[in-house]
Amino acid sequence: MNANFNKRFKSFISEYSGVLSGAAYGLILRPIFNLPQRENFSFTDLFSVTFIWIVPFVIGMVPMFFASERQLSKSGYRIFTPSLTVFLFFLFCFTSRAEDFICILIISAPFILAAMLGGSIIGILLLKYRQNKNTLYSVLLIPFICGMVEEQFKIPSGIYHVSTITIINSSPQNIWEHVVRVDQINADEYRKGFFNYAGIPQPLYAELNKDTIGATRIGHFEGGLKFIETVNHWELNKKVSFDIAVSPSTIRNTVFDKHILLGNHFKFIDASYTLRKINDHQTELCLSSSYKLDTRINQYATFWGDALLSDFQQRLLAVIKLRCEQRAND
C-alpha cells in the first residue's frame, strides 16, 4: 500500500511540479513587491504594470520549463496549465492571508490573461529552441529588471468622479432629512451586493453635529470603520457636500483596507448630495463622489474604483429612496 501511495505521489509531483514551482515563484515575488521604499534601493510596488502584468506573464512561463515535448505541443496545455498555476498562487495568497478575496478578484483578470499569454509564448519557444533551455531561464529575471526600471518613471496622478442618480417620489424637504443624517440601516433595508460579500463594508449610519458649513459628519461602516466628513457646502434642501477623510484608527485589519485606505495610492476627496425638484411629487437625488489615484495602473484601477463606488452609491440611494417614499406615504 505504501509503495502504491509513493508511486502515486511521485506521479503527482512529476505531473504538477511545474504548477507548484510557478506558484512558489509568485509567492517569492509577492513580498518583494510589497517592500517599503528605501533611499538606496528603488523598486516598484504592487500597484504597478510590472506586478499586474509582467509577474503573471512570467508565472505562466514557469510550468512550461517542466513540461515534456508532448505536453508543449498541445495548445490546451500551454493555456490551461498557466491558469492553474495562477489559481494555485491565489489560493496560497488567500490561505496565508497575504491577499483578501477582493484583492484577488481585482487582479484576477490581468493575472490569468498574462499567464496564459506567457505560457503560450514560452511553450512555442521551448519547442523550437529546447536545446537553449538554460538561456530561456533568464526570463525569470524579467520582473526584477522591469520593477527597477518602472520605478524610475513618475507615478501618474488623476482625480476621478462617480455620480449616481435616483428619482424619489417625495419632497426635497423630506429627502434632505434622510440625507444629511442617516439613521441605523437595518438588514431588511439594505440589499447586500457581490462586493459586500467579497469584503467591502456596508454603511451603518451617519451622524451630523450641526446644520451648517464646517459641521462634522461621521459615516459609520461595518467593522467599526469611520469616515470623517467636513461640510464645505450647505444649501438647505438643495445641496450638501463635504470633504472626506478616513479615521486611521478605525481601519480594519484587512489587506484591502491597508492597501487602499492606509496606502499612498488611493484617497477619497469629497462627496455631495444634490436635490432637484421635478414636480410636486418627485425629486431627483444625485450622489457624487470624487477620489484620487496615484498608481502606475490608473486606467485599470479606475475601472474598479468606479465599479466599487457606483455599487455603494446605488445601494445607499436605494435605502434613502425606500425610507423617503415610506414616510411620504404615511
pLDDT score recorded for residue 194 = 94
Give pLDDT tens digits for 289-301: 999 999 999 999 9
pLDDT score recorded for residue 247 = 94
pLDDT score recorded for residue 300 = 96
- In this structure, which amino acid lies at residue 123? G
Give pLDDT tens digits for 17-37: 899 999 999 999 999 999 887
Q: Residue 6 — φ and ψ, nearest 5°?
A: -60, -35
* Alpha carbon distance 224, 216 (integer Å): 18
Check pLDDT > 70 for residue 4: no
3-state helix, strand, coil in the chain (%, to 5): 55, 20, 25
Check pLDDT > 90 for residue 132: no
pLDDT score recorded for residue 100 = 94
* Residue % of the chain over a pLDDT of 70: 92
Residue 284 forms beta bridges with which residues? 167, 276
pLDDT score recorded for residue 178 = 96
Q: Calculate mean pLDDT across residues 219-246.
A: 97
Q: Calculate mean pLDDT across residues 102-118.
A: 96
pLDDT score recorded for residue 133 = 64
From residue 139, how far is each of 7, 53, 84, 125 by CA, in Å? 33, 14, 20, 12
Check pLDDT > 80 for residue 272: yes
Residue that is written with C-alpha cell 495602473 in the block: 297
Give residue 328's pLDDT band: very low, low, confident or very high (50, 70, 90): low
pLDDT score recorded for residue 42 = 79
Q: Are 61 and 72 in contact (CB under 8 A)?
A: no
pLDDT score recorded for residue 137 = 81
pLDDT score recorded for residue 10 = 54
The domain spans of the chain are 2-150, 157-329
Give pLDDT tens digits for 27-76: 999 999 998 876 666 789 999 999 999 999 999 999 999 998 899 999 99
Check pLDDT > 80 for residue 256: yes
Give residue 117's pLDDT band: very low, low, confident or very high (50, 70, 90): very high
pLDDT score recorded for residue 266 = 93
pLDDT score recorded for residue 322 = 95
pLDDT score recorded for residue 264 = 82
Residue that is written with C-alpha cell 472626506 in the block: 244
* Alpha carbon distance 330, 327 (integer Å): 5
Give pLDDT tens digits for 137-166: 889 999 999 999 999 999 999 999 999 999
Q: Calculate mean pLDDT across residues 311-325.
A: 96
Query: CB within 8 A of 253, min separation 6: which ones?
Result: none
Kind and range of the H or E run holding 293: strand 283-294
- In this structure, which amino acid lies at residue 298? N
Average pLDDT over the chain, rounded to whole?
91
Among 107-116, 186-195, 258-267, name the one with the lowest average pLDDT: 258-267
Fold of 157-329: Alpha-D-Glucose-1,6-Bisphosphate; Chain A, domain 4 (3.30.530)
Give pLDDT tens digits for 172-184: 999 999 999 999 9
Q: Calculate mean pLDDT across residues 208-216.
A: 97
pLDDT score recorded for residue 13 = 57
CA-based nearest residue to 256, from 247, 265, 243, 245: 265
pLDDT score recorded for residue 262 = 84
Give residue 103's pLDDT band: very low, low, confident or very high (50, 70, 90): very high
Instruction: Print the SS3 string covering 241-259.
Output: EEEEEECHHHCCCCHHHHH
Taking the CA atoms of the chain, what radius of gyration do you get in angstroms?
25
- Output the CA torsion 201→202→207→212 (10° steps): 90
Check pLDDT > 70 for residue 278: yes
